Amino acid sequence: MTYKQMKWLILTIPTLTIGVWEFVRHEYLLPYISMEMGNVLAPVVVFLVTMVFLTQLFRLIERHQEELNQTRALQAVLEERERIARELHDGIAQSLFFLSAQISKMEKQPKDEICFDRLKESIFRANDYVRQAIANLRYSAQAGQIPWMEGLKSLMEEIRRESDLEIALEWDISESLLTPKEKVELLAVIREALLNVHKHAEARRVRVRGAMTDTGWECVVADDGKGFDPASAASSGHYGLRMMKDRSDMMNWQFRVTRVGNETRVTVRKELR
């Protein structure tokens, strides 16, 4: 039975019931039931008939809705797997091909420092693609069921388990302001920033803050670690900074690393107007 048929049955059953009741009452039951009693019984009859028939219709609607939700969930998972497959092809597969070409080149000629640096960067990028694909499989495949904030909190809990960092979250950016692509890229930037703090900063506390600004939103990852010179770090093989900047540039976000007081701050900012 289609939704249209069920809709018309829901609309017509009460009307037909009261019509049939009035016809039967006036034609056959009038000698036995007074007008007052008939008026009292009319809504009772309509209620009983409605309960018998409409309950079945509502069960059908609920079953159809459940099947529709399952189909949508399956479709969402399939689309997510297809997207991740494209990312794996465009990211990991190409990086591995480049690595293979670079290794073949190094085998045929003396070691080249520039070539070796490119090789290290390619390995780092492949590693980043793998981490991002794993994160997508964990959180994004059920994006319709698990809010993006749950993915962010899960990431922070994972970092917290692997280190002694105290991570505080202050978040006022509405999920509705972030597109699905922005959620994936922003989570990747936050992940890389937290991993860099864990590996290099020797920090005790990290603060992740997302806030609205006068013209857009801003995300800051601040730590109380030993700090570093962003300019020299970017030129000495710290590919994490470059990856975060590349992701930000791709999304047309502003990206900067600053030292304010005893805090190192990684800031991503988007202008909405």
User: What is the average per-residue pLDDT within 128-153?
Assistant: 60
Q: What percent of the chain has pLDDT over 90?
A: 19
DSSP conformational letter for 93: I
Give the 3-state secondary structure of residue 222: strand
Q: Alpha-carbon Rg of the chain, whole angstroms?
A: 31
Angle value at C-alpha 94, between 88 and 97, nearest 5 degrees: 130
What confidence tier does 32 reach under pLDDT thresholds 50, 70, 90? Answer: confident
CATH T-level assignment (fold) for domain 147-273: Heat Shock Protein 90 (3.30.565)
Q: Where are the beta strands (DSSP E) in 93-203?
A: 166-171
230 and 240 Cβ atoms separated by less than 8 Å: no
The reported pLDDT for the residue numbered 100 is 67
Angle value at C-alpha 257, between 161 and 233, nearest 5 degrees: 85
- Nearest-angstrom CA–CA distance, 104 and 29: 99
Helix (H) / strand (E) containing 241: helix 239-250
Q: Which residue has the higher pLDDT, 211 or 46?
A: 211
Give the 3-state secondary structure of residue 165: coil
223: CB partners within 8 A, 6+ apart: 197, 201, 203, 205, 206, 207, 263, 264
The lowest-confidence range among 2-11, 137-146, 244-253 is: 137-146
The reported pLDDT for the residue numbered 253 is 95
User: What is the average per-residue pLDDT within 261-272?
Assistant: 92
What confidence tier does 180 reach under pLDDT thresholds 50, 70, 90? Answer: confident
pLDDT exceeds cutoff 70 at 174:
yes
Give the 3-state secondary structure of residue 258: strand
Q: pLDDT tens across 59-116, in order? A: 888 888 888 888 887 787 777 666 666 655 555 655 666 666 666 666 666 655 556 6
Q: pLDDT tens across 117-127, in order? A: 666 666 666 66
46: CB partners within 8 A, 6+ apart: 14, 17, 18, 21
Domain boundaries, the chain: 3-73, 147-273
Q: Provide, for the chain, the percentages of residues in helix, strand and coil under a 3-state DSSP scheme, each rounded to the nearest 5.
A: 70, 15, 15
Q: pLDDT tens across 184-200, in order? A: 889 889 988 998 898 88
The reported pLDDT for the residue numbered 179 is 87
Crossing angle for the helix pair 94-108 and 113-139, to the nearest 10 degrees: 160
DSSP conformational letter for 143: T
The reported pLDDT for the residue numbered 223 is 95
Long-range CB contacts (within 8 A, 24+) of 66-74: 72/144, 73/142, 73/144, 73/145
Q: What is the mean pLDDT of the chain?
A: 78
- Nearest-angstrom CA–CA distance, 217 and 236: 31
Q: What percent of the chain has pLDDT over 70?
A: 70
In the numeric block, which tokens belong to residue 54?
């409409």
User: What is the average per-residue pLDDT within 125-146?
Assistant: 55
What is the pTM (predicted TM-score) of this model? 0.52
211 and 218 Cβ atoms separated by less than 8 Å: yes
What confidence tier does 140 reach under pLDDT thresholds 50, 70, 90? Answer: very low
User: What is the average per-residue pLDDT within 144-160?
Assistant: 73
The reported pLDDT for the residue numbered 237 is 52
Q: Which residue has the higher pLDDT, 180 or 234?
A: 180
- Nearest-angstrom CA–CA distance, 165 and 197: 9
In the numeric block, which tokens belong to residue 219?
């995300």
Q: Where are the beta strands (DSSP E) in the chain?
A: 166-171, 205-212, 216-223, 254-260, 263-271
In DSSP terms, 222 is beta-bridged to 207, 265
